[in-house]
Amino acid sequence: MPRRRGDMDNEVEEESYYVSVRDLPFDLLRQRANASNLSTAERRKARGELLLKMGAKPPKGTAVNYRLLMETRKRERQNALTDYKNERFKKTTLERHLGKHARNKRRRRKALRHAKG
């Protein structure tokens, strides 16, 4: 059945109402960024979020004194090392309580005796 001109006009109208679902969050963020009830700091933050979602580069971190940076990294390394040692100590003490440590020790001695042979 051939189409009439009136049918084509209806299709054009339907297409004009089409909204991409991907663009919807950006529209909502844009409205939030332009909202008049927000303070300027909140508005600036919302605009930054919108720009990040749209693919902008994230802002650079604040400048830190090199000496302070090295001190904090050194402290973090030491804390990580002590945590590791504490976890290892807990594991070995638990194995001793369970008797696994002694078994492993016997196996190592036996393996050394056979290796020296």
Kindly report, residue by residue over 48-67, the tens digit of the pLDDT: 888 888 888 988 889 999 99
Residues 47 and 84 both lie in one domain: no
Q: Is residue 7 part of a domain?
A: no
pLDDT for residue 85: 83
pLDDT for residue 21: 56
Return the amino acid letter for 109: R
Residue 74: pLDDT above 80?
yes
Q: Are 50 and 23 in contact (CB under 8 A)?
A: no
For residue 34, the number of C-alpha atoms closer than 13 Å in the C-beta half-sphere is 6
Q: Is residue 6 part of a domain?
A: no
Q: Are 102 and 96 in contact (CB under 8 A)?
A: yes
Residues 83 and 49 both lie in one domain: no
Residue 31: pLDDT above 80?
no
What is the residue range of 34's domain? 17-61
- Measure CA of the first residue to CA of the last residue in the chain; give whole Å: 97
pLDDT for residue 89: 80
Q: Is residue 8 part of a domain?
A: no
Number of domains in the chain: 2
Q: What share of the chain in percent tops pLDDT 90?
A: 15
In this structure, the chain runs to a length of: 117
